Structure 1
Amino acid sequence: MSFAKSVGLSFFHSLLRSQLETKTVNSPLLVFRQLLQFNLKPSDLTFSLVIKASASYSLKQRLEAYQIHTHLLKSGIIHFVYIKTTLLSFYVNLGCVKSASLLLEDMPERDVVAWNALISGYSKNGYDLYAFYLFMEMLREGFTPQTTTLVGLIPSIGRLELVSQGKSIHGIGVKAGLDRDSKVKNALTSMYAKCRDLAAAEILFEEMVEKSVVTWNTMIGAYGQNGLFDEAMVLFKKMRENTLEVNSVTVMSLLSANADHETVHCFAIKTGIVNDASVITSLVCVYARSGDNESAGLLHNSLPQENLVSLTAIISSYAERGNVDMVVECFARSQQLDMELDAVAMVGILHGVKNPAYIDIGLSFHGYGIKTGLCIHSLVANGLISMYSKFNDIEAVFSLFSEMQEKPLISWNSIISGCVQAGRADDAMELFCRMKMFGHHPDNITIASLLSGCSQLGYLQFGKKLHGFVLRNNLEVEDFIGTALIDMYIKCGSIDVAERVFKSIKEPCLATWNTMITGYGVCGFQNKALTHYAKLRERGLKPDRITLLGVLAACIHGGAVDEGRRYFQIMTEEFGLAPSLQHCACMVALLSRARLFEEALLFISNMEFDPDSTVWGALLSACCTHQEVKLGEYIAKKLYLLDHRNGGLYVLMSNLYASKGMWDDVARVRQMMKDTGGDGCSGVSLLEVTSFKEMDDNTYLWEVDLGEQSGRQRFSY
């Protein structure tokens, strides 16, 4: 200590430099406090070294930043421009963008380095538009952008809706001569790829005479982001032909380009890159997404230091597959390691809590989100809205939504979708109107959710208006929008319009084919359903369980027993798809409707799992059709034991007895129904109100769409 005092500040500066170079875990503030204990006055260099050393120190960084800031204010050294800039960069790296912004505002003399630091900070922390506006303010104040400025700014413009701003930045770079820099060109290449302008990205790539590993990695990633996986692999082979040494980013780019992860894993082992923590983390994420949690777990355990990204991937994988017990176990592991979940991890968990049996666990994670402050993130709030929607807890959904300080479009989409999922489509329509009042423009997800609501309520006219909105705004009628439109028209009874929408789609996905096949089956067009199935196979698409369910339903409506047997066999033997209870119920309905009751009962006895009320209900319905009283009574007992409150059971048995004139038994069954709390007569009629006009204080005129019977009616309120 006496030696330290005799040499003065230089000794402590050496200690801080040593910490900075070795990235030691010791707090730089401890060195600073020792310096003060010797009554030494810190200089601007002291504070500069303290701030830089603190940037590599991982524990309680924000607290240290505020403590350093306080010392700077007390000493007056904060007036040095470069000190303020260094502190600003420190705040930015910590994600304290607001504190950094306030520092810049307080700087009477600003340099380009300070502007660059805050622009980059906004960009890294997701404040994309703020980064762009700050850049424009920098230009207005007469500062000339540098290479660092554009490299920090361009990543924030990598969104399709900001492509015009990106092109403007590119133009400024060309005018200033900065576009020749390889770092700027790499950033621009990545930006154009994210904006889906792959042609521009390819031009920039070809223009580069000397292509570094970073350049090749950027272009491989660009192809991967745009789904051109084959092109990404071809470019990787060319990169290898140019004898360029791959690095960890190359491997991660290949994984993002959907390359076979096991092959990439072998390549990483062969080249020695597998020891890189970022590569291990990427492999963990890919294995977890593919459902191979065993391999993901082994890789995760091989990390020199566990990180939240890989643990989040494993947790999300378990959650997606409904393995909530393992989710809780992994969460407990994260708590033992003093890891706080981030918003992404929380959303992954919440999406996995689907079964009402795990509602207590969902509530516990909601409590964790409140305790850690994660619930203020719109991403987490949307995840909670989605979770409570699955449990039909609409009151909780509305409460969460009302508590949100900022309601971006994604939050409106979440609550609208949640209401539709919970069978509250009328609430979804009302929310849509409120959303428009708040100035939000609906996107594809909004439209798809509303179309699903129209399907529930039979709102054909509103569905047509949404279709018109899609056409006027040139939204792509592909994938889920096209599928939602087809589903809406089918369920509203307009199969011909559904056909026209289907034909307008250039490349229908499997879900779209499934919707059309199921629609034909529901509407009784057996031949068209089977023809569409044949066309689907001609396109090279592999059917899934939903496809075969639609095909079997079509066979039921058409009474095609032999075809139904054949398709059920194809599903299990050719495609290796294990039949669900719904498939089994279809087969039972198909056989029993053809009066093949013995075969239907044999099929039920050979099922790999216990039949549920759907299976027995299909058989009982056929008994009613063919007036099989004894078999019907046997099945009714089975159904009664499964669910004695099932109103359909009593209605079917009542109809069966009535068809045979057994009126005493009809009365007995109806009394049993009343004793369980139902009368079999409850129902709801829906009218689509197309306009509304107030006539006087108490009377309103509604225009109601009833197809051919559309008209007007006065209602008093």
Structure 2
Amino acid sequence: MFASNLSLFHSLFQNSNSALATFRQLLQANANPNAFTFSLLIKAFVHASSTAALQARQIQTQSFKRGINQFIHVNTSLIDLYMKLGFASHARHLFDDMSFKDVVSWNVLICGYSQNGFVYDAMRTFVDMLRESFRPNQTSVVSLLPSCGCFEMILQGRSVHGFGIKAGLGWDSHLNNALMSMYAKCDDLKASELVFEEMDEKNVVSWNTMIGAYGQNGFFDKAVICFKEMVKEGFQPSSVTMMNLVSANALPENVHCYVVKCGFDNDASVVTSLVCLYAKQGLTYMAKLLYKSYPTKNLIALTAIISSYSEKCDIESAVECFIQTMKLDIKPDAVALLGVLHGITCPSHFSIGCAFHGYGVKSGLSNDCLVANGLISLYSRFDEIETALSLFYDMREKPLITWNSMISGCVQAGKSSDAMELFSKMNMHGQKPDDITIASLLSGCCQLGYLRIGETLHSYILRNNMRGEDFTGTALIDMYSKCGRLDYSEKVFYSIKDPCLATWNSIISGYSLYGLEHKAFNCYSKLQDQGLKPDKITFLGVLAACTHGGLVYLGLEYFTIMTEEYGLIPSLQHYACVVALLGREGLFKEAIEFINNMEIQPDSAVWGALLSACCIQQEVKLGECLAKNMFLLNYKNGGLYVLMSNLYAIVGRWDDVARVREMMRDSGGDGCSGVSVINVTSVKDSNSILSPSDVYLNTSTWQHLCLY
């Protein structure tokens, strides 16, 4: 028997198949395997194949047949195996059938639940362990803490921490590291720092955990400082240290130098992390250069490069990298395909998106939720809502992210009524909206002028204490200002403790919309006082305020600050604002000179801004010249005809007004299509709940909205 066990022990270091073959030979030789034999056999299946589940059941049957199931350590090993294979229910049944249990058995079950994401089952098992008078040890607490590593479980995590202190467990580095990691994942960085500072003995893992905690919570500078202190204390960094630095968004050149200096430049994980860091920070050329210099190729690095190209809208290079994965016999996954789809923003690349849709169908990747959402976003981006809806309804399972993608796609395509209908169906399917859903619907309320629905959604946010204050708060400010309630916008804004840049931009745009330029300028100054750096959207709001106030020279000054002081490249919207600013003050010569000096080709918005100024200043000749050029440039939108009609009407040329309207009808529109929406509110009950007279939605939509 000893020789058989020795043979099985040797096969353990080869693979599970050879171990199982040796065990079968043992049975054929009529040898009687003992508990040690089964323990060795079970260990061989730690890194098991897809057939291991069936083989594990066969081993369990053999152990039961030979009475080995009476040994606690054999059953514990089987529970551990089932958990590693993902069969938590099998592990639980085996555990419940055990006549005798010890602390190790409980620990294995708790650890298995934690690793498989069964958070509440792990906590419930720990409580059952206490009820049955088993005394938890350090391993019990370490096994349980990963289950508490989310914001919703922070109270349970603190309770476990308190239990450990009360029980007098020895707080070694292993346990403290688990606590630090748990608090960091719960966004309680101060608690992680406190545990770290009170540690008597710190090891490399402790420092790595703290560096990773800073990186996870966005304190990148502190992560680098912590790394420097680690080196100063004489600890030798490991490959995990390097990867934590990478995740902390440290300067890639500095990390790269240190990687080479410490000899980790041949570590595949570290090199891949570096490639991802270069790609994430937009240094695509360096990422690709490093990738080519390393002999081992993998999908993770290539996917990072693909995503980097896509973010730069270099779709040709992204496609080239995607094709390279197939040339290297690396099967692209859903993330790689999604990386390409996200980069398709130009109408000329739409056919490429359709081709990748075909590849997704052929490879089966289109069944993946991520890819399906990416395709829905792609078709919504190009106003192919019917195709997007077809993909949406073909999906068997629709998680919340899919509903959000479809609702957001409808809003972006200007079909907010469809978004509201989808929202009612989402509720019928039992899906609870999150802050992304609410923000998309609020954006839809802006398009439709549905103030009452916006107020209802605001009530839902307050009642459910939804997190993401900046996200939903910004959407609320935007909705109220565009629906005619700037006073509500201000109330929401001042209720936010630390507004982010997007929130400041939203209130600035609101003030600009209402012609309150001085309040907009005041907000611009305050956001800078808070240490925030204005972006393109900030300056778009400020320029709009200058346009409404007729502040020409101040507007030109802000445009100069944007381009020269902050180095921001103006978009066509910024140029249109400046043209409108000059044109409305009658400075047409300066406006035309400004357009001629633009670094990008002017579009219909820029020329339309000048034409609108001609209406204000009654410049008929210039207006006619602009309209003719816009018509020749194929700017055949209804706005062009409306502006010219208004221009002729202002100067009393009614024959020309009739001629323009005739041209509009010939082009396919009569200028009369449109929908007016009003909120009908009784004087007696101005605070009444939503009623179907407010807006035109069907009954089911109203029912679900009124539930809030």
Partner Cα separation in structure 1 for residue 691 and residue 146 of structure 2? 55
Count the aligned residue pairs. 678
Structure 1 stretch 153-162 or stretch 232-241: which is displaced more?
232-241
Corresponding residue to 1:264 among 245, 255, 260? 255
- Shift of the 171–373 alpha-carbon distance from structure 1 to 2, 3 Å rule, reads farther
Q: Tell me which residue corresponds to 1:101.
A: 89
- Work out whether residues 452 and 694 of structure 2, in 8 Å CA contact, stay in contact via their aligned partners in 1: no
Instruction: Note if 1:16 corresponds to 2:3.
Output: no
User: What does 1:270-281 align with in structure 2 at a 5 Å threshold?
Assistant: 270-281=261-272
Instruction: Note if 1:627 corresponds to 2:618.
Output: yes
Structure 1 stretch 625-634 or stretch 228-237: which is displaced more?
228-237
CA deviation after TM superposition for structure 1 residue 146, in Å: 4.9
Superposition TM-score, scaled by structure 1 size: 0.83
Partner Cα separation in structure 1 for residue 606 and residue 450 of structure 2? 31
Corresponding residue to 2:49 among 62, 80, 84? 62
Partner Cα separation in structure 2 for residue 149 and residue 310 of structure 1? 37
- Shift of the 158–280 alpha-carbon distance from structure 1 to 2, 3 Å rule, reads same
- Shift of the 122–106 alpha-carbon distance from structure 1 to 2, 3 Å rule, reads closer
User: What does 1:238-317 align with in structure 2 at a 5 Å threshold?
Assistant: 238-317=229-308
The aligned amino acid for 1:62 is S
Determine helix, strand or coil for the equivalent of 2:694.
strand
Determine helix, strand or coil for the equivalent of 1:609.
coil
Q: Tell me which residue corresponds to 2:639.
A: 648
Q: Tell me which residue corresponds to 1:446.
A: 437
User: What does 1:454-533 align with in structure 2 at a 5 Å threshold?
Assistant: 454-475=445-466, 478-533=469-524
Gaps of 5+ in 2: 683-689, 697-708
- Work out whether residues 614 and 622 of structure 2, in 8 Å CA contact, stay in contact via their aligned partners in 1: yes
Partner Cα separation in structure 1 for residue 126 and residue 357 of structure 2? 39
Q: Tell me which residue corresponds to 2:17.
A: 29
- Shift of the 436–326 alpha-carbon distance from structure 1 to 2, 3 Å rule, reads same
Cα deviation 1:678-714 (Å, max 9, x = unaligned): 11111111244789xxxxxxxx9844389xxxxxxxx
Partner Cα separation in structure 1 for residue 290 and residue 412 of structure 2? 37
CA deviation after TM superposition for structure 1 residue 652, in Å: 1.9
Determine helix, strand or coil for the equivalent of 1:245.
coil
Corresponding residue to 1:206 among 187, 193, 197? 197
- Work out whether residues 688 and 704 of structure 1, in 8 Å CA contact, stay in contact via their aligned partners in 2: yes
Structure 1 stretch 8-17 or stretch 679-688: which is displaced more?
8-17
CA deviation after TM superposition for structure 1 residue 431, in Å: 3.9
- Shift of the 63–480 alpha-carbon distance from structure 1 to 2, 3 Å rule, reads closer
- Work out whether residues 65 and 91 of structure 1, in 8 Å CA contact, stay in contact via their aligned partners in 2: no
Q: Tell me which residue corresponds to 1:715.
A: none
Aligned identity (percent) is 55
Partner Cα separation in structure 1 for residue 331 and residue 141 of structure 2? 33
The aligned amino acid for 1:543 is P
The aligned amino acid for 1:105 is H
The aligned amino acid for 1:562 is Y
Cα deviation 1:223-262 (Å, max 9, x = unaligned): 3333334443443333233222221222222333343332
CA deviation after TM superposition for structure 1 residue 488, in Å: 1.1
Instruction: Note if 1:422 corresponds to 2:413.
Output: yes
Cα deviation 1:424-464 (Å, max 9, x = unaligned): 32333344445455555543323322222222222223323
Partner Cα separation in structure 2 for residue 685 and residue 571 of structure 1? 38
User: What does 1:69-468 align with in structure 2 at a 5 Å threshold?
Assistant: 69=56, 72=59, 80=68, 89=80, 92-93=83-84, 96-98=85-87, 101-102=89-90, 104-106=92-94, 108-109=97-98, 116-117=107-108, 119-133=110-124, 135-136=126-127, 145-174=136-165, 177-178=168-169, 180-369=171-360, 378-404=369-395, 406-436=397-427, 440-468=431-459
- Work out whether residues 470 and 477 of structure 1, in 8 Å CA contact, stay in contact via their aligned partners in 2: no
CA deviation after TM superposition for structure 1 residue 158, in Å: 0.7
Partner Cα separation in structure 2 for residue 150 and residue 623 of structure 1? 75
- Shift of the 62–620 alpha-carbon distance from structure 1 to 2, 3 Å rule, reads same
Q: Tell me which residue corresponds to 1:704.
A: 694
Q: Tell me which residue corresponds to 2:587.
A: 596
Partner Cα separation in structure 1 for residue 123 and residue 245 of structure 2? 31
CA deviation after TM superposition for structure 1 residue 290, in Å: 0.5
Partner Cα separation in structure 2 for residue 173 and residue 377 of structure 1? 42
CA deviation after TM superposition for structure 1 residue 339, in Å: 3.5
Corresponding residue to 2:660 among 641, 661, 669? 669
- Work out whether residues 221 and 256 of structure 1, in 8 Å CA contact, stay in contact via their aligned partners in 2: yes
The aligned amino acid for 1:584 is Y
- Work out whether residues 8 and 23 of structure 2, in 8 Å CA contact, stay in contact via their aligned partners in 1: no
Partner Cα separation in structure 1 for residue 279 and residue 146 of structure 2? 28
Partner Cα separation in structure 2 for residue 369 and residue 157 of structure 1? 37
User: What does 1:679-694 align with in structure 2 at a 5 Å threshold?
Assistant: 679-688=670-679
Structure 1 stretch 255-264 or stretch 243-252: which is displaced more?
255-264
Q: Tell me which residue corresponds to 1:711.
A: none
- Shift of the 632–63 alpha-carbon distance from structure 1 to 2, 3 Å rule, reads same
Cα deviation 1:191-221 (Å, max 9, x = unaligned): 1121122333233223321111111222222
Q: Tell me which residue corresponds to 1:4.
A: none
- Work out whether residues 97 and 122 of structure 1, in 8 Å CA contact, stay in contact via their aligned partners in 2: no
The aligned amino acid for 2:251 is D
Structure 1 stretch 654-663 or stretch 71-80: which is displaced more?
71-80
- Shift of the 195–78 alpha-carbon distance from structure 1 to 2, 3 Å rule, reads farther
Partner Cα separation in structure 2 for residue 231 and residue 13 of structure 1? 50
Partner Cα separation in structure 1 for residue 673 and residue 304 of structure 2? 47
Structure 1 stretch 363-372 or stretch 445-454: which is displaced more?
363-372
- Shift of the 486–35 alpha-carbon distance from structure 1 to 2, 3 Å rule, reads closer
User: What does 1:44-59 align with in structure 2 at a 5 Å threshold?
Assistant: 52=43, 55=46
- Shift of the 152–31 alpha-carbon distance from structure 1 to 2, 3 Å rule, reads closer
- Work out whether residues 170 and 179 of structure 1, in 8 Å CA contact, stay in contact via their aligned partners in 2: no
Superposition TM-score, scaled by structure 2 size: 0.84
Partner Cα separation in structure 1 for residue 159 and residue 261 of structure 2? 44
Partner Cα separation in structure 2 for residue 354 and residue 127 of structure 1? 40
Determine helix, strand or coil for the equivalent of 1:685.
coil
Corresponding residue to 2:609 among 618, 625, 633? 618
Determine helix, strand or coil for the equivalent of 2:674.
coil
Partner Cα separation in structure 2 for residue 593 and residue 144 of structure 1? 80
The aligned amino acid for 1:206 is E
Q: Tell me which residue corresponds to 1:24.
A: none
The aligned amino acid for 2:17 is L
- Work out whether residues 60 and 78 of structure 2, in 8 Å CA contact, stay in contact via their aligned partners in 1: no
Gaps of 5+ in 1: 1-6, 20-26, 692-699, 707-717
Structure 1 stretch 448-457 or stretch 463-472: which is displaced more?
463-472
- Work out whether residues 690 and 705 of structure 1, in 8 Å CA contact, stay in contact via their aligned partners in 2: no
Partner Cα separation in structure 2 for residue 111 and residue 590 of structure 1? 79
Q: Tell me which residue corresponds to 1:639.
A: 630
Corresponding residue to 1:550 among 534, 541, 564? 541
Structure 1 stretch 449-458 or stretch 138-147: which is displaced more?
138-147
Determine helix, strand or coil for the equivalent of 1:208.
coil
Partner Cα separation in structure 1 for residue 170 and residue 402 of structure 2? 39
Structure 1 stretch 371-380 or stretch 313-322: which is displaced more?
371-380
Cα deviation 1:471-516 (Å, max 9, x = unaligned): 4444468422222121111101222332233233332222222222
Q: Tell me which residue corresponds to 2:687.
A: none
Partner Cα separation in structure 2 for residue 401 and residue 411 of structure 1? 8
Cα deviation 1:563-621 (Å, max 9, x = unaligned): 22222222222222222211222222222222222222222222222221111111222
- Work out whether residues 540 and 574 of structure 2, in 8 Å CA contact, stay in contact via their aligned partners in 1: yes
